[in-house]
Amino acid sequence: MRVLVALSPLGLDAAAGPSSGDVLGEARDVEEEFEPVVAAIRSISPRIEVLRPGVVALDARGPTRYFGGEAELCERVREAARVATGRLATGRPGCARPRVGIAGGRFAAEIAARRDVIVRPGGDAEFLSRFPLSVLVDAELEGVLGSLGISTLGEFAALPKGSVLGRFGAEAGRLHDLARGRDDRVLGSTPAREEFVSSAVMEPASEVIEAVLRLAADPSEELIAELEIRGLISTCVEVLVVDDEGNSISRVWTVTRDRVGFDAGTLIERLRCQLEELRLKSAEPAHFSGRIERISFKARDVVPVGVNQVGLWGGTSDADERAMRCIDRVQAVLGPGAVRTAVIRGGRMPRERVEFVPWGTDPKKLLRTGVSRELPWPGRLPRPSPALVHDPVLTAELLDDGGSLVIVTSRGRLSARPARLRIDRRRWLIVVDWGGPWTIDERWWDFSRTRRLARVQLLCERGAGYLCVFEAKRWWVEASYD
């Protein structure tokens, strides 16, 4: 098996390594941004699987023959995705280009895509071995393994299978297989071992999405019930939509969180996405009439209950499931990068202490080795933290009683008592008290340069507090204690 994974710039956020600095809230107008990328890659290979928003996988074997080599195929996919995202890439600072990788299995291919490389056939295990555990396992398992002196995938893979299963359970056993480069998850056009298909026919054919969705309710529930009876769940379902002229469009969907199978409600949401995409892209494919006559659901990745359900999420309630489904749906409305969660990590400045993670990524995976909120961070301000952290920062002017600019001297002191503060050229505020300055010499958000800056807490009338920064003879507001 050879798997190609493409990461769109949006999907990159999910996969970004610690060195990528563009995860902090740049202006994102991501509405429906990802759909053109899917369409562009589909034009290269019709059987694609969307692993997560922004992340597409396909079986590379056929197209490789067609395009005359894996490097050529990668370049083709990269170019198609780049053209499709080109519209958004312009004018967005630091916007990454799409990345593409090929490897023997899906997991290795995802890692390869982050690095934009092709892993040689049979080389998955070796390629993966040097990556830290955090790319695969959650913080808890990482901690336990870390205490055993295991910090890379290679070291994890070297453990005997039996002791991993015995000590950490089935889920860890599955991860252990992935670390060893044994990733037999079915992809794209490979048929499921057993056929689980459920479909419904519209009479007459309809263009109304809500009507199609109503019709789809029964087959979706039948499929799930059918699986349930056999003690199975499906983590990958192909949704097929056929028009009244017999043209069909199929799309393979994977569950957002790798561990819980599809339920009927999620299937309907996925179908809704697919139908809305069809309606928006009515020109593509040109022959599709839009009058939908038949829909069918086909379970692809089918596994016994329990294998996948060892929740790294620590168990979920009905309310959690409902909330997560609803958030999936909002993500479908607004675009993949629009919905995020946040994790706190180490750092001195408020902005660098938080990492944003697109919804659907396991946030625990972002708690990386070597950076921890529990570590003492010299120079970090004590609690409470500011309720607003500005990004971009706000310009500020700080004057003394006589109307002169207050500066921080080379000895790290204020040149005068601060008296008045103006933020973003709004009205002047009276400064009633202050703390600092505290100076920092460090590489800050710009890792390539060292900077020297000083921070001051300013307390203004009515108890409005600000964290201001002085650098290169200018003030700005980093955060507000709103």
Partner 1 sequence: MRRPVPPVVSVDAHAKRSFGVVDELADLLPEGRIRAGSVVAVRGSTGATSLALLTVARSAMQGSWVAVVGIADLGIEAASELGLPLERVVLISRPTSRWVEAVAVLLRGVDVVVLSPPGRCSARDARRMAAIARERGSLLVVTRGAGYDDDWSWPVPADVTLEALSSRWGGLDEGHGTLCSREIAVRVFGRRAHSLERRGVVTCGF
Q: Contact positions toward partner 1, by CB under 8 A?
A: 25, 27-31, 217-218, 221-222, 225, 317, 319-320, 322-323, 325-327, 329-330, 333-335, 338-344, 350, 353-354, 356, 359, 363, 381-391, 394, 414, 417, 423-424, 426, 433-436, 457, 459, 462-465, 479-482
Residue closer to partner 1 by CB (options 218, 441) is 218
CA distance 401 to 279: 63
Q: Which C-beta is closer to partner 1: that of 181 or that of 465?
A: 465
Q: How far is the CB of 317 from partner 1 (least distance, A)?
A: 7
Kindly state the smallest distance separating residue 341's Cβ from partner 1, in Å: 6
Smallest gap from Cβ 456 to partner 1, in A, equals 9
Residue 320 or 441 having the CB closest to partner 1: 320
Contact 165, 173 (CB under 8 A): yes
- Going by C-alpha positions, the residue among 34, 29, 12 that lies closest to residue 273 is 34
Q: Which tokens go with 260?
A: 């819980």
Shortest distance (Å) from residue 104 CB to partner 1 = 33
Cβ proximity to partner 1, 184 vs 228, nearer residue: 228
Distance CA 213, CA 215 (A): 5
How far apart CA 254 and CA 106 sit, in angstroms, is 13
Give the three-class secondary structure for 298.
Answer: strand
Contacts of 65 (CB under 8 A, 6+ apart): none
Residues 6+ apart with CB under 8 A from 446: none
For residue 248, CA distances in Å to 116, 241, 243, 244 come to 33, 6, 6, 9
Contact 482, 390 (CB under 8 A): no
Q: Which is nearer to partner 1, 165 or 354 (CB)?
A: 354
Q: How far is the CB of 136 from partner 1 (least distance, A)?
A: 20
Comparison of 185 and 380: residue with beta carbon closer to partner 1: 380
Q: What is the DSSP string of 244-279?
A: TTS-EEEEEEE-SSTTS---HHHHHHHHHHHHHHHH
State in angstroms the smallest separation of the CB of 411 from partner 1. 13
Tokens of 250: 């199929």
The nearest distance, CB 324 to partner 1, in angstroms, is 8
* Cβ proximity to partner 1, 211 vs 344, nearer residue: 344
**Nearer to partner 1 among residue 249 and residue 260 (C-beta):** 260
Q: Minimum distance from CB of 183 to partner 1 (Å)?
A: 27
* Number of continuous H segments (helices) and E segments (strands) in the chain: 13, 16
| Selection from 132, 141, 195 nearest residue 170 by Cα | 141
| Shortest Å distance, C-beta 330 to partner 1 | 5
**Closest of 446, 436, 447, 445 to residue 470, by C-alpha:** 436
Q: How far apart are the first and last CA of the chain?
A: 55
Q: Which residues contact 238 (CB under 8 A, 6 or more apart)?
A: 250, 251, 252, 253, 297, 298, 300
Instruction: Give the distance from CA 34 to its chain's centroid.
Output: 13
Other residues' Cβ atoms within 10 Å of the Cβ of residue 188? 20
- Compare residues 104 and 335 and give the one whose CB is closer to partner 1: 335
Give the pair of three-digit tokens for residue 414: 């204020």
Instruction: Give the shortest CB-139-to-partner 1 separation in angstroms.
Output: 12
Instruction: Compare residues 225 and 305 and give the one whose CB is closer to partner 1.
Output: 225
